[in-house]
Chains A and B, each alone.
Chain A
Amino acid sequence: MNSEIALFLIQDGLTNGAIYALLALALVLVFAVTRVIFIPQGEFVAYGALTLASLQLGKLPGTAWLLLAAGMAVAIVESVQALRFGAVRRIPAVIFTYIIIPGSLFCLAWWAAPQKPALTLQVLLALLLVVPLGPMVYRLAYQPLANASVLVLLIISVAVHFAMTGLGLVFFGAEGSRTPAFSDAHWKLGVLTISGQSLWVIGTSLALIVALLLFFEHTIYGKALRATAINRVGARLVGVSPAMAGKLSFTLAALIGALSGVLIAPITTIYYDSGFLVGLKGFVGAIVGGLVSYPIAAAGALLVGLLEAYASFWASAYKEVIVFTLIIPVLVWRSLTTHHIEEDEE
């Protein structure tokens, strides 16, 4: 291997690693706030990429229908609950949030798709169609069992993952899609060629990480999410409802997932089931951080990206094996170095 290839692999690894880092952060966030191991994270990646691909072909993406149906389902669940608790006044707000808004987004997509708007608008539309699915999935699948054990929540995640993969096949078919790059620019830097798309990926990831940091440090809702992660009972006592925190964390996770999908769609061909492997690599990164530490999770995910790049060069047949084997030494190291921390603050 000469230095040119080594540098190329680093660029490749960092680009993928940036995506994995975003996904790892989302997984840590969702787990900390709701104790859900968010396996369907990858489906949001695939949905984001494939929704954008459909829009570029001028077709109405299947996710628009899904948004409509999921919104309807949530509206029914919420209305039944409101009636049972005698809170009829809540129903108009429910109808607005879960029927009128998804309905308007559906109409917007239906009207805009055939006109093939500019790429930025397409990306925005794809995000608008996919991201609201996050809180809806939380409301339908997780909220009724929010106090169940981590294992039960994991089983729900597996079920949601299979359901979403199946729906992906129905909506997008078995063929893969690749979208055109955001930028065709290339820069020569010594022996290395830097592609505009990798800069887009790394830049957007960094921007999103900084935005998340500001959100958690400086906004009342960010603080509320941190509080829920630290002490659920305390959060309830100051009026932070676990349902609100759950929906908010799932919205962020869906946003991160869909945006990651949009970013990698020009780099690799995405199939309806590609999200799972991408998400799983983010998960390996999150495990390096013990599902609690954001910076270590992000660093772990970058390591996964680099390892994957070098593995695909030296032993491409064993690429996935090598990446996922990383988890064994990490788990051994963690079990040896992590001492049990008392949850009790007193």
Chain B
Amino acid sequence: MSALLEVRGLCVAYGKVEAVHQAALRVEEGRIVTVIGPNGAGKTTLLAALMGMLPARGSVSYAGKDIARIEPEQRVSRGLCLVPERRELFAAMTVEDNLVLGAFHRYRKSDPTIGADFKQVYQLFPRLQERRRQLAGTLSGGERQMLALGRALMSRPRLLMLDEPSLGLAPLIVRDIFRVIGGLRESGVSILLVEQNARAALQVADYGYVLETGEIAVEGPSADLVSDPRVIESYLGLVSGGAG
């Protein structure tokens, strides 16, 4: 299978402090790849750099083309989409307008299939349809995450990057969100998932990377990682695992 995203030697620095050092990773078409690691390891920085929101060095090739120097807006219209940790919704606009804006680049191309995607998103998250006239800022935490996911799906992504989708959500909603993520793979979307909830992430993912202080420390198929003693000790053990 060919790699949809291939990253080599990626370095991201805030001033003189390097947050990500020489990272290399691959996402194959139709797969879920997860990046786990402790707080402050550089996971969010990595995703922001892949989206073009932060300046970075190194090579990033997507669908066979080098995208290291293009703007985030152009990456969106090529099918790259990031759901950030802070969701970044349009709080003072309605749920429906948030979804409409998710498809902004498709409206510019007068894509006729937008309406069908609306239906699909509402089917996936019936709660959003109930609240479509409500302002996004009035939603609960779980509903906001649904809206952030829904907005991302409206852009019809080929590679969806999710930053801590389970952060701050009740266990029941986390289960729902991960079910949706698993379902997206069936519909052909490739996913790069960043999580602190390593257990849940490795359960849904095909392949995993462990990021520690800005460097990839361990990588391998999820099944191998789950039984790797280092990973178990640091991320799946009873003390730090099982939360949230």
Contact = CB atoms under 8 A, between A and B. Distances in A.
Interface of A: 85-86, 220, 223-224, 226-227, 230-231, 233-241, 244, 344-346
Interface stretch (B27-35, B85-93, B188-196, B229-237): B85-93
A231 B72 contact: no
Interface of B: 51, 53, 69, 71-73, 76-77, 81-82, 84, 86-93, 97, 100-102, 104-105, 107-108, 136-137, 151, 155
A61 B87 CA distance: 50
17 contacts: A220-B104, A220-B107, A227-B97, A230-B90, A230-B91, A233-B53, A233-B84, A236-B53, A237-B76, A237-B81, A238-B104, A238-B155, A239-B73, A239-B105, A240-B73, A241-B73, A346-B87
A239 B104 contact: yes
A149 to B, nearest CB: 18
B108 to A, nearest CB: 8
A226 B53 CA distance: 21
A50 to B, nearest CB: 36
Contact of B89 (A85, A240, A241, A345): A345
Contact of A233 (B88, B93, B97): B88
Contacts of B90: 226-227, 230-231, 234-235
Nearest to A87: B70
Given A223-B101, A226-B90, A239-B155, 17 more contacts: A85-B69, A86-B69, A224-B101, A226-B93, A230-B90, A230-B92, A234-B89, A235-B90, A235-B101, A236-B53, A237-B53, A237-B76, A237-B81, A237-B82, A238-B101, A239-B72, A345-B87
Contacts of A237: 51, 53, 72, 76, 81-82, 84, 88
Contacts of B100: 220, 223
A85 B93 CA distance: 35
Contacts of B51: 237
A268 to B, nearest CB: 38
A341 B73 CA distance: 29
A231 B89 contact: yes
Nearest to A224: B104
A346 B148 CA distance: 13
Given A233-B53, A237-B82, A239-B105, A223 B93 contact: yes
Nearest to A217: B97
A59 B100 CA distance: 47
A191 B55 CA distance: 69
A220 B96 CA distance: 12
Contacts of A344: 86
A12 to B, nearest CB: 37
A211 to B, nearest CB: 19
A20 B108 CA distance: 34
Contacts of A224: 101, 104
B89 A223 contact: no
Contacts of A244: 73
A269 to B, nearest CB: 42
A298 B143 CA distance: 35
